[in-house]
Structure formats: C-alpha cells, structure tokens
Amino acid sequence: MGLTHESVGRGAAGSSLTIHKQHETDRIIALAGNPNVGKSTVFNALTGMNQHTGNWPGKTVSNAQGYCEADGRGYVMVDIPGCYSLMAHSAEEEVARNFICYGEPDGVIVVCDATCLERNLNLVLQTLEITSQVVVCVNLMDEARRKGVHLNTRLLSQRLGVPVVCTEARGKKGLKKLMQAMEKRLQEPSPSQPVQVQYITPLEEAISLLESSLNKVDLHSLPSRWLALRLLDQDEALLVGLEEYLDCDLLSLPGVRDALSQAEELLNRHGLTGETRLDAIVSSLVRQAEAICDGVVFQFPSSAEERDRKIDRILTSKGTGFPIMILLLAVVFWLTITGANYPSQLLAKGLFFLQGKISQGLLFLGAPPWLEGLLADGVYRTLAWVVSVMLPPMAIFFPLFTLLEDLGYLPRVAFNLDKYFKKCSACGKQALTMCMGFGCNAAGIVGCRIIDSPRERLIAILTNSFVPCNGRFPTLIAILTMFFVGAGTALFQSAACAILLTGIILLGIVMTFLSSKLLSSTILKGVPSSFTLELPPYRRPQIGKTIVRSIFDRTLFVLGRAVSVAAPAGLVIWLMANVSVNGQSLLTVCSGFLDPFAQLLGMDGVILLAFILGFPANEIVVPILLMAYMSAGSLVEYESLDALRTILVQNGWDWVTAVCVMLFSLFHWPCSTTCLTIYKETKSWKWTLISILLPTLTGMAACAIFANIARLF
C-alpha cells in the first residue's frame, strides 16, 4: 500500500531521474541492495524522508532521491530498486544497473540483510566488479542477533577489500558511521583493491583476451573486466544501454569484435556455450560468496526461527490459512467502523456548528445571499461532509493496514492466494498489488511493476480497481450502517456491519479472479509464467511510529486530495441546484436526464450524477449525493447516520437502492488519478479505456441484474 505523494505524484511512472544537487561539492551516493533488506528504511533514516517502507519485497519500484548532510558535506542519496543481481534479467535489475553504470554516482552503499548475508554478497560482488567506491552496510543487525546469527565483520571487510559497517536502520543505529566510512573511502587517494571474483580457467582466459582489446579504448571509466564479462554473457541490454547513455557502440571499437570471436571460439571449444556459460559465471559468484562467508557467519541456535515457523503454520496452513485471512479482514473493518463512529459525529457537530457562524459572518460583512450560499452551503458544507465522513475511517484503517504490512503478513496473503491466481493464468504477486489497491488504486497500479511478465502485469493493472480503495470504504460503511444494521446493541451492529463489509470485499476479490480469468482467456491469452516469492521473516511493527507515519503520509495526503476536489465540486453542485433553466434547476435537468438509465440500474439520476462528479475522487460521492438531495428540499441538520438515512429514504431509497449503490461503488470507473496512472504505466489509451470499461460494465450488469430480480419480489 505505497500511498505517498512520491508513489502517485508526478514522476511516479518515469524511470529517468534528474539529480538535484544543492552544492557543487555534494556527492551522489546510490543505495543498492536485495529486496526487503531495509534499504528504504536506511534511505529514510538518512534523508529524513518518508519513502514507503513495508515488510515485503519490491516496494521501491523506481529510483528516489533524498538529501542528507554529514560532517559538513551534503549527499544526494539515490534509493534504487531492490534486486538480487545486476545482470538485468528484470526491469528493476536494469534500473538498478543503469544507475550504477550511467548515473555517475560517486559511491555505492550496498545494503545487506545480516540474517542472510551469503545471498546478499552475490550483489555485493557484482557491484564491486563495476566500481570499487563501495561501502557494505550490513543492516538488520538487531534481527540477526535475535535469530542467533553472529558476524565477524572485520574479517568480512578484509575479504571484500571494502569497508563494512553494521547498522540497525529502524533504530537509526550505525548510520553516522556508515556515512563516515563512505566519505573516508571516497577521499582515500589509493583505496584498497576490492576482492575479484575468480571464474573458471577458460572464462578467465577469454576475459583476458577481451580485456587487452578493451583496455586500448575509452570506456567511460567502466572497468574492462566487467565489460568483457558482459560481452561474454551476451548481454544485449548492456550494449543498448551503452549506446543510449554513453553513445558508445562497444562492438564497433577497434579490435573488440575480433577479440570477441576469438574468446567465443575458445569458450565453445570448452563446451561453454549459451546457458552453460551463464551458469558458470553465476556459480562462480555464488561459490565465492559462500567462501567469503565461511568463518564470517556463525549461526547459534535460536528460538526466533522456530517462532516464525509456528506463526506460518497458523497463518498459511491448510486448515487455518483462509479462515484467519478472512477473520483478520473482518477485525480490521470492525475496528475501523467502531472506532470511526464517535469521532465522525463529533467532527460533524463541530463543523456544522461552524457553518452557521460562517454564514452569519458573511452576511454580517455584507455579502450578498447568493455568495453566502455559494461559500457556506456549497463549498464549506461539502468540505465538512468529506472531513467528517471520510477522515475518521481513514485515520483508523490506514494505520491498521500498515501494521499488518510491517508485520510481514502481505507476502503470506500472496502465498495463500497464488494457486487461484495461477488458475486465472495470473501472477501471485497480483495479491500484493491488490492489497495495495485497498489503500489507493493508483498506488496499487504503480506497484504492479513488481510483476515481471508484461501480460500478467497488464491483468493486474486492469483488475486493480475491483477492490475498493480507501476513498470508497467510508461510502460502503456509511450505507451498510444506515440500511442493513438496524436494531440491536452497538456491538452487534458494528460486528454485523464488519461481516457484511467483509462479504462485499470478498465479492470484489472474487470479481478480480473472474475478470483476470476472462482477460487471460480472451484478449490477454497466455500461460502463467514462473516467479519466485520471498517470504520475509516476521518483524515486530513499530506501533507508535506506524500510526504517526500512516496518518501524516497517507491519511492527510488522501484527505488533502479529497478536499481539493471537494471544494470545486461543492461549488458546482450548489450552482447546479441554484441556477435555473426554464424554471427547473440545472441539477433537476441533469439528474432527470440520467434518471431513466439510472433506474434501470436500481438507482436514481442524482446518484449517478454523484458518481460522475466523483470522478476526480471517490471520497466525495456521498457528500455530493447529500448536497444534491438537501439543496432540493428540506435542510436537515446532521445529528447521526439516522438523520442521513431519513434524507435518503425521503428521496426514494430502499434496501435495493442501497445494495445497488454499494455494488456500483465497488464496480465503476476508476478515479481520475487512477486512470491517469494507468495511462502512464501502460502508455496506451486502449488499455486505459479497457480498464475503465471493465469495472463499469461489470457494475452496470451487476446492478441491473440485482435490481430487476429484487424488484420482482
């Protein structure tokens, strides 16, 4: 659920990055690392920024930059996507490698996971082949201690030939040392030579053949040994990158092509062709990492590992996996509904009391009645609705969801659901992007970059809006509470509401599967592709920090967006209600025009109009609806949801209308931000249009079928 300004804002889709230095002497430092090693946490701790973090791999989907100062010098830190390798097999590996090779960083910090150092060293060794200005940051030391892992970092540093610094980024420990080590490394006139990966003899011979020809030409400070290796592993992406960024056609350089064919011939003689050759290169890296770790990593018996397995047996086993998943969803909703009710009423009372004062104030200042109506009844009232109806559930739902995310539960959801995604010929990581969609569909769609296969990525993008985003939750909650949870104790009411809401969400998830299946058997035909899903260790969430962070980063951001859209929308609604054509208000004319069609869908013209005006932000659908109904007739002061129910019932709502509105809220066009994000991500109007039509047609069909059957009885 990567909902921050960065993830949905400008530049979210662009993979290019312009570095912003504040002083000439600033240094550019790249932060590289495997997925889920706390790279973004290190980045945030250093720069004081709020790049989204969470306990699941693949959150950083494009480069992000931040600024930090240490000992009087400025550093531009660049957070590059997490990857296992720099061989550019996937999009994130290519972004990472391109930045290290062509982004001209002064130094690279490779962040490693102390609990699984050996695997992380693969990336360290590959980075060292490109540059020697490297500091290795062994992060998650606290977690390693708990797991009984001890490291001899002095020996590690000796063997790698570069500084090694231990950190606990969550507790901000070791970061000062990290930056000092980086600076020291950069200032050293003759830094120590880093370890060189030893390949098997024929490969080494082929490398020296190529190196001697590469050494004669200008390589833009890229090491000849590394370029030789990439030529040998037939890395097309590298040749393209060299041309694109450095305007250098490697194969046309004098002598290179000849040397390459000699080297090829040599390797072919030893049976090192195609896949076998790549195997030999990767095996050497992995074995060297293994050798370096021998005597550096000590594993003592610990209970943490056993604890994780016990949790996994409960959360992902056959008997309990699914029930717990549904129960967790219901509990989150229950807490949201119960917790939001009281503050919501309080906010409404306060804000509507203020409205009276504003009206009086405006009239006192001599404002004409139309201006008073426009500002107080139009703009301010809509804003008040948005804040009082939307803010409390958001402020509770976001932190709860973030806690689950920090704990490491989301990858388990993907693990549990993957079989069903496979049946739909889609990727299991779609479960992750679906979960992100609960926060914000636009963020979910950007997150789809974690899916490697373009076909499966498109499926995930097109179906993302089938799960309701946070802008739609309050709508669903409000309608559920008003129409379906009647008499009974407060506890019963909120529990019933949570169960019904869970049912609606499950319906959304079922539709995600059905439409994924539909897409992959029609316009996006294909077989499910291979993928690996890492299940990270459980981490104890930092509860206080999570709450503060999710309120400031997400809730206020989303609310700000809703408010900025709600103000003009309130204005439009007020004008429509008060400007008359042929004795009828514009509102009546428009809703009257939409009414026949809306009736077919079990709704009315005003509801459909509210959905249309809510295109910029789903949060404002209910407020617009209320405004429209109230401007037409009696003005009811907000006392409780019951008062709202009365307004709706007076305007002809019954339970069928309520169900249809909920269905349509679940399945209709994505909001404008989401549509724009879909276009940015797919670069295609065709797919953007399909992503609008798919949920809209689904919603229309669902509403029409439901309404017409229900009206029979």
Partner 1 sequence: MSKNHIRPLASLAEGQTAQVASLLSGGTMRRRLQDIGFIEGTQVECVQKSPAGDPVAYRVRGALIALRSEDSARVLVV
Give the binding site for partner 1 (CB under 8 A): 84-85, 87, 89-90, 115-119, 122, 275, 278-279, 282-283, 286-287, 309, 312-313, 316-318, 321-322, 415-416, 418-420, 422, 428, 452, 528, 530-537
| Nearer of residues 87 and 206 to partner 1, judged by Cβ | 87
- Give helix 556-578 / helix 605-613 axis angle, nearest 10°: 130
| Nearer of residues 159 and 549 to partner 1, judged by Cβ | 159
Give the nearest distance from C-beta 118 to partner 1 in angstroms: 5
Question: In angstroms, rounded to a whole number, what is the distance separating the alpha carbons of residues 156 and 163?
Answer: 9
Question: What is the arrangement of strands in the sheet containing 64-70, beginning at the earlier edge strand?
Answer: 64-70, 73-79, 27-33, 107-113, 134-139, 164-166
Bridge partners (DSSP) of residue 139 are 113
Give the nearest distance from C-beta 129 to partner 1 in angstroms: 15
Q: What is the DSSP letter of 147?
A: T
Give the nearest distance from C-beta 414 to partner 1 in angstroms: 8
Q: Do 281 and 229 form a contact (C-beta atoms < 8 A)?
A: yes
| Nearer of residues 89 and 257 to partner 1, judged by Cβ | 89
**Surface-to-core class of residue 19, CB atoms within 10 Å of its CB (0-12 exposed, 13-18 middle, 19+ buried):** middle
Bridge partners (DSSP) of residue 377 are none
| Nearer of residues 509 and 700 to partner 1, judged by Cβ | 509
Q: What is the CA radius of gyration of the chain?
A: 29
Give the nearest distance from C-beta 379 to partner 1 in angstroms: 51
| Nearer of residues 230 and 554 to partner 1, judged by Cβ | 230
> Quick one: CA dihedral 168, 173, 174, 180, positive or negative?
positive
The DSSP H or E segment spanning 430 is helix 430-439
| Nearer of residues 314 and 600 to partner 1, judged by Cβ | 314
Give the nearest distance from C-beta 502 to partner 1 in angstroms: 18
| Nearer of residues 91 and 461 to partner 1, judged by Cβ | 91
Q: Do 669 and 692 form a contact (C-beta atoms < 8 A)?
A: yes
| Nearer of residues 125 and 485 to partner 1, judged by Cβ | 125
Give the nearest distance from C-beta 93 to partner 1 in angstroms: 9
> Quick one: CA dihedral 193, 194, 195, 201, positive or negative?
negative
Helices (H), 65-195: 91-102, 117-130, 141-146, 153-160, 175-187
| Nearer of residues 90 and 345 to partner 1, judged by Cβ | 90
Q: Which of 108, 131, 192, 207 is nearest to 157 (CA)?
A: 192
Burial letters 403-429, b for 16+ CB under 10 A, else e: bbbbbbbbbbbbbbbbebbeebbbbbb
